[in-house]
Amino acid sequence: MTNEDISKLADNFLINTYGSRKICFVKGEGSYLWDADGKKYLDLFSGIAVCVLGHTHPAVTEAIINQAKKLLHISNLYNIEPQVMLAKNLSELCFAKKWFFCNSGAEANEAGIKIARRYWHTKGTPKPQIITAENSFHGRTLATITATAQPKYHQGFEPLVPGFSYVPYNDISALEKAITPETGAILLEPIQGEGGVRMPSGNYLKEVRQLCNEKNVLLIFDEVQAGMGRTGYLFAHQAYNIEPDIITLAKGLANGVPIGAMGCTEEVAQGFSPGMHASTFGGNPLSTATALAVIRELTKPGFLDEVKTKGELLISNLVNLASKHPKIKEVRGKGLMVGVEFEEPVAPIINKLMDKGIICGSAGPNVLRFLPPLIIEKEEITYAVEVLDRTLGELGW
């Protein structure tokens, strides 16, 4: 089938949550994708930060095939060997010593919110209120759209889940003022992704940690987008030298096999006991065996250093463009999570780049967002920025 055939079917048979799309990718390899008409593209978006090892990475494919030959599903009524190994592996790599697995980022955040509330409840001091930051994005379930402090995601879905309040990101005094005796947790993306690739300023995250300690509030980091090597560190909080009490992961964890994870300290883990939370598919053999293979690749010596180097290259090339193209307001990012803010909506750039065989995305209307596979080559980065340079020239930007 062609792109057009597939688009017609999509328009006829899918509930229209994603708008009308014109292109269908049918094959991928490394940082490249091919559409149904045979056109080749350089992928700088990785399926929204998912394919950290690019497309059809041999280690990922092998893990999937080997596991599919052994056992796909068994349920959490029984132990699942790769799930247990993944929890052990993750616990050796960060502060979180206990893990719960689910199937998506929203579910991971749901689990984080639930365990935070339940933790205080089991302590005998219920503190159900959760504070989140404006422009955040935490998912599309009812609790996670409520946590997502962007009104456009709330409209028409009211009543929302009670117990959430919002503060401006990067404003420590607003956060301090918002904390009440009812506040049980602060939920933040260490780098805001969807809301515009917004970086934590100065010592903001350190100050948030300190405030949480002083006020006896749990800190939840949503690393669904910024985790799994994206910043050049395995987990984003490691780039800022602070530890939350709860972390949520998804996207890159299994390179495209659906998975979510919520990890926490031994102390917070006491919040859940048998029967309090569950997922039929969560932590299934296929997704967890694949995640083990992803982590093996990301933690190979030198891999994350290369991500840092390639991120610096991408950012410095983009900063050079900013001196030539007046509509660029700011270039920001860490590792291979990069945003370029323009004076105007970036949709025309994305469309023109697509015509030229380059895939990137947006983060809000005016920010061009780059989330390339972490295995991208330096030459591919240079090439992509050259094409962007030409495209901005053509647009007179």
Residues of the shown chain interacting with ligand PLP in the complex, contacts defined by CB under 6 A: 48, 104-106, 109, 137-139, 189, 193-194, 222, 224-225, 250
Closest CA to 187 of 272, 257, 254, 108: 108
Closer Cβ to ligand PLP, 41 or 153, answer by number: 153
- Give the residue with the Cβ less far from ligand PLP, 250 or 328: 250
Residues found in the chain = 397
Residue 135 or 366 with smaller CB distance to ligand PLP:
135
Contacts of residue 250, defined as CB under 8 A and 6 or more positions apart, other chains included, come to 104, 105, 107, 108, 224, 259, 260, 261
Which residues is 341 bridged to in the sheet?
330, 367
Q: Which is nearer to ligand PLP, 166 or 397 (CB)?
A: 166
Which residue's CB atom is positioned nearest to ligand PLP? 105
Q: Looking at the DSSP assignment, which residues form a beta bridge with residue 264?
A: 98, 246
Which residue, 47 or 82, has its beta carbon nearer to ligand PLP? 47
Q: Are 182 and 164 in contact (CB under 8 A)?
A: no
Min dist. Cβ of residue 176 to ligand PLP (A):
24
Which residues are 262's β-sheet partners? 100, 248
Residue placing its CB nearer to ligand PLP in the complex, 268 or 371: 371
Neighbours of 212 (CB within 10 A): 21
Nearer to ligand PLP, 50 or 64 (CB): 50
Q: Give how far Cα 75 sits from Cα of 263, 274, 281, 320, 326, Å.
A: 20, 15, 7, 52, 56
CB 135 within 8 A of CB 167: no
Cβ distance 223 to 236 under 8 Å? yes
Coil, strand or helix at 160: coil
